[in-house]
Amino acid sequence: MTKNIFIAATRQNDGKTVISIGLFLVLKKYINKIGFIKPVGQKYLVVDGKRVDKDAILIKKLANLEDNLEDMNPVAVEEGFTRQYLDNPNKEYFVNKIKESYERISEGKDFVIIEGTGHAGVGSIFDLNNAEVASLLNAPVIIISIGGIGRPADEICLNLSLFREKNVLVKGVIINKVIEEKKGIIEKYLKKFFSKINLNLLGLIPFTPCLTEPSLLQICEAVNGKIISGSDKMKEKIKNIVVGAMTPRHALDYFKPNSLLITPGDREDIILAALSISTQNLIKGIVLTGGLYPHKTILDLIKKYDFPTIVSSEGTYEVASKINELVVKLTEDDMDKIEIAKKLVEENVNIEEILK
């Protein structure tokens, strides 16, 4: 019989995808044939005319899986899905679709990782929340939460109650994004609390800043930008943001390694200052705002050096805000991050307990 595990989280952006991918890659060392399914997906791409969750696409490419993408994500929640469902509820159709896809995914597999979407109650409005799906697939659950003591404990209890209401076994908890200096005290007190509610602490994963660093391409997409130079360097990661609203002399003081400069396209003085230190690995790219382009001479210089430059029609404040609020997700271009995710799971999660 195929074993499985359902990966849930207490909220969005707790690191569920990073841990799911890391766990998948680590388990491949212990298990010969392993599968992946995300029964309900909310963030999708269109592949061959079909909507498929991004995580399913990523795992298929990473692991070179032969499974059908539609089976790896049988239900993709597109815009208007909820309203259509409420107007014409058809739970049985989606339940059967998930069960049939899972049967095909699990066929010939020793283990299947099932990735949920958000907290235990996500999907309740169309009768397919995470607790419901975990119960449907008879899958024990691992809950992912983020570092701290009080907040994760409270949020885990909320999720735990819904899973237990559906008679789903919660195998344990992984606490993600733990500040290294606080790891000891967090572990001590969460273990005390979890022992009272009969829950295992399966691991504490340290906060790893590089996993939150966006690439220039992700920034370009976030600001609806257009690449005018350096298209082959868009995988570069950004650690620091500088808004060019000061004089060039003062701007130079703010340029740190792997910085992105955001400035109106007509601030040619700031742009030239950035270009002057481009060989020092300080400025990785520029976003020109307001839909403005610099003088042709400077534009030619940017293109001559193939310096990564993006033009956005939005204002400087809007661009800076969007980049600051950008939630960075793993992509197939992030092999460095994917290796880090694998290492974090391998070194900080009790794999033996998960495999029991």
Residue that has been written with the tokens 């992912």 in this structure: 144
pLDDT tens by residue, 271-314: 888 888 877 778 899 999 999 999 999 999 999 889 999 999 99
Contacts of 22 (CB under 8 A, 6+ apart): 341, 342, 343, 344, 345, 346
Write out the H or E segment, with its range, that includes residue 178.
strand 170-178
**pLDDT tier for residue 323 given thresholds of 50, 70 and 90:** very high
**Side-chain half-sphere CA neighbours of 339 within 13 A:** 4
**pLDDT tier for residue 230 given thresholds of 50, 70 and 90:** very high
pLDDT over 90 at 248, yes or no: no
Orientation of helix 54-63 relative to helix 16-27, angle to 10°:
20
**pLDDT tier for residue 339 given thresholds of 50, 70 and 90:** very high
The average pLDDT across 236-249 equals 84
pLDDT over 80 at 48, yes or no: no
Alpha helices per DSSP H over the chain:
16-27, 54-63, 69-72, 81-87, 91-106, 130-136, 150-165, 183-196, 216-222, 248-254, 268-276, 296-304, 316-324, 335-348, 351-355
What does the pLDDT read at residue 1? 76
Assigned token pair, 181:
């200096």
pLDDT over 80 at 55, yes or no: yes
What phi and psi values does residue 232 have, to the nearest 5 degrees? -85, 0
Most confident of the ranges 238-247, 267-276, 346-355:
346-355
pLDDT over 90 at 77, yes or no: no
What does the pLDDT read at residue 192? 96
**pLDDT tier for residue 347 given thresholds of 50, 70 and 90:** very high
The average pLDDT across 103-119 equals 93
Calpha distance 173→256 (Å, rounded): 37
Assigned token pair, 269:
């003085």
The average pLDDT across 145-155 equals 92
The average pLDDT across 106-133 equals 93
| pTM tops 0.85, yes or no | yes
More confident residue, 328 or 98: 98
Burial of 281 (0-12, 13-18, 19+ CB in 10 A): exposed
What does the pLDDT read at residue 38? 95
pLDDT over 90 at 37, yes or no: yes
pLDDT over 80 at 101, yes or no: yes
pLDDT over 90 at 79, yes or no: no
Q: How many other C-beta atoms can be found within 10 angstroms of the C-beta atom of residue 171?
A: 18
5-9, 200-204, 323-327: range with lowest mean pLDDT:
323-327
Give me the chain's average pLDDT, please: 91
